[in-house]
Structure 1
Amino acid sequence: MSKKLSQPQEIVIVTGASTGMGAATAREMARRGFHVLAGVRRDSDGEALLAAGVEPVILDITDQDHIAALVARVHGDPKQRAVRALVNNAGIPGAGPVEVVPIDAWRRLFEVNVFGTVALTQALLPALVRSKGRVVNISSLNGKVSMAGYGAYASSKFAVEALSDALRNELAPYGVQVVVVEPGGVKTEMARLGLASLSDLSARMTPEQNARYGALTQAIPSHVAAFTKAGVTADTAARKIAKAVTDRKPRTRYTIGAMATFLIRVSRFLPDRVLDRMTTSDLRKHYPDQVKYGRATAGHHA
């Protein structure tokens, strides 16, 4: 059973709370009685959260001034509330073949998904150690299973998994627990936003690259849409994240959604080549018909 609110009221910090899973998590934690500091990018993003009893704070996790302001807010809390948890949810998506995703896009993914997460965690760890709080890092199914077309994003989430393992062992002697949450498909806008640059990426591919990856880049939007449609709602995901925050003896990892649970489980014991065939077969269902049914090569489509 999840441990509910302890007294006195504690602070939970949720990053990336402008919309989707982060906003739903902020509302869920407030509903459970925590004082939630919700990181948003714009004042307008925070207006809807105010009605749910959430305190929005302007936070770009790649901005050191924003991080410093949040730390000052925590340390100067007028009620001297302890920090129960930091939920590192902020992140950006990305898609495209490894060869053609620009190196600057790779850097941006890591800057937000990895380095921003590390920077904020470093800044708040003194408070978390004092309160014996908890770090909850939102990873992804792609943090355990990487597949064609998702290499850049998956690489950043594999890094989140690795830093979480190290942090868990480093902080265990001091009573700070580190938990990873691995969502599969979640019905939010994030997936759609991650595809925004894919058409531009396709347009900039050389003829040789198009021959290699043309069908793949056409398949990704359909694959993402199907995966998202089959996923859980943001509110369902938020309840699982809340368990990661409040369970008295949390697991080291929680998965969200049946597909994530299945794929992560089988990835532990299936040979790499078998897992490759599974993920490739799933992707090929979304290839253009003339490629899917073998009437043309991957680079020649109508």
Structure 2
Amino acid sequence: MTLSSETVVVTGASTGIGAATARELARRGLHVLAGVRRDRDADALRGDRIEPVILDITEPDHIAALTARIDSPLRALVNNAAVQTNAPVEALPLDEWRRLFEVNLFGHIAVTQALLPALLRHAGRVINISSVGGRVAMPTYGPYAGTKFALEAVSDSLRRELAPLGVPVVVIEPGAIRTDMASRVVAATNQAAAAMSPEHRDRYGNLIRAINAQSAAHTPNGVSAADAAQVIATAVTARRPRTRYTIGRDAALITRLSRLLPDRLLDRMLTASLRPHYRQSAAAGR
């Protein structure tokens, strides 16, 4: 079967990695159903072999409409949609925890359940976009990393369930990526910080500012969305894909260290990496 006769679904394709992946897969000859949230995002993405579909993965009606739209062999489902807010475990309201899990975990499970019959019919594959935060949880990353750790666990279980049925399950673990998501995360983090109690701001304010400063320093050196899309497209098209791919040197290094180092040593290394950003954020505040 040729790639031109097959379809790939990419969720969260409005911008960033999702949009770049949709374009790269289309360039390779696949028909892409690209999930977007708004009509203007659809207009910006629509092109040869790219068919935008309005898709909120937490809405059952949207998922049903997507499932009904598939009329050619389904090569892959790329579960990419995600939201992120960085906040201390103590200070983030439970409703916001639930929102992150609804999108970053339960939404992916819902889409996967709906599309698995089509994937099983044509020996397709599931590609779950996790994060280096699915292997190592930095301070204030607990809510987001919690969703990604859970996605990694679900992916492991699903891989072992589907391997005998001929459906590979692949996890992609990006590190820093140069996309607009970094600025959106900082904005969401600042919004969460503004809603904290004075006691929480006193306890965690300096930490949050240091995390934001660290993100601002590292993101410009990250991998481009187009380069990240190349890795994801390889996972979609390879005859025998690996079970995991990291994207970026930072992701490869951190995941390796997480396997080799004792917890307390890794904790000290992560604390040391934040120290310059405490100073940077303090200087910016003067």
Is TM-score (shorter-chain normalized) higher than 0.5?
Answer: yes
For each residue in 1:218-251, what CA deviation from the matched residue of structure 2 results, as whole angstroms up to 9, or x when unmatched?
1122111122111110000000000111111111
1:72 aligned residue (61, 68, 88): 68
1:43 aligned residue (32, 39, 43): 39
For each residue in 1:56-78, what CA deviation from the matched residue of structure 2 results, as whole angstroms up to 9, or x when unmatched?
0110000000000000001xx2x
Q: Check the 8 A contact 1:12/1:37 in 2, yes or no.
A: yes
User: Which ranges in structure 2 are unaligned for 5 or more consecutive residues?
Assistant: none
- Deviation of 1:289 (Å): 5.3
Which residue does 1:183 correspond to in 2?
174
For 2:104, the aligned partner's letter is N
Q: Check the 8 A contact 2:16/2:180 in 1, yes or no.
A: yes
Once structures 1 and 2 are overlaid, which stretch shifts more, 136-145 or 278-287? 278-287
For 2:261, the aligned partner's letter is L
- Deviation of 1:254 (Å): 0.1
Superposed, which structure 2 residues align to 1:180-219 within 5 Å? 180-219=171-210
For 2:52, the aligned partner's letter is P
For each residue in 1:83-140, what CA deviation from the matched residue of structure 2 results, as whole angstroms up to 9, or x when unmatched?
0000000111111111111111111000000000000000000000011100000000
Q: Check the 8 A contact 2:30/2:49 in 1, yes or no.
A: no
2:88 aligned residue (97, 112, 122): 97
Change (3 A) 1:288 1:7: closer
C-alpha distance in 2 between matches for 1:255 and 1:284: 26
Task: Determine if the alignment matches structure 1 residue 60 to structure 2 residue 56.
Answer: yes
For 1:27, the aligned partner's letter is R
C-alpha distance in 1 between matches for 2:235 and 2:108: 18
Structure with higher Rg: it is 1
Sequence identity percentage? 59
Which residue does 1:122 correspond to in 2?
113
C-alpha distance in 2 between matches for 1:105 and 1:52: 38
For 1:67, the aligned partner's letter is I
For 1:141, the aligned partner's letter is V
- Deviation of 1:6 (Å): 2.4
C-alpha distance in 1 between matches for 2:259 and 2:115: 33
User: Which ranges in structure 1 are unaligned for 5 or more consecutive residues?
Assistant: 293-300
- Deviation of 1:192 (Å): 1.2
- Deviation of 1:280 (Å): 1.4
Residue 263 of structure 1 aligns to a residue whose secondary structure is helix
Task: Determine if the alignment matches structure 1 residue 245 to structure 2 residue 241.
Answer: no
C-alpha distance in 1 between matches for 2:257 and 2:3: 41
Residue 126 of structure 2 aligns to a residue whose secondary structure is strand
Q: Check the 8 A contact 2:174/2:251 in 1, yes or no.
A: yes
Superposed, which structure 2 residues align to 1:252-267 within 5 Å? 252-267=243-258
Which residue does 1:34 correspond to in 2?
30
TM-score, normalising length from structure 2? Answer: 0.95
Once structures 1 and 2 are overlaid, which stretch shifts more, 107-116 or 279-288? 279-288
C-alpha distance in 2 between matches for 1:250 and 1:104: 37
Aligned pair count reads: 285
TM-score, normalising length from structure 1? Answer: 0.90
Q: Check the 8 A contact 1:93/1:191 in 2, yes or no.
A: no
CA root-mean-square deviation: 1.6
Change (3 A) 1:51 1:277: same
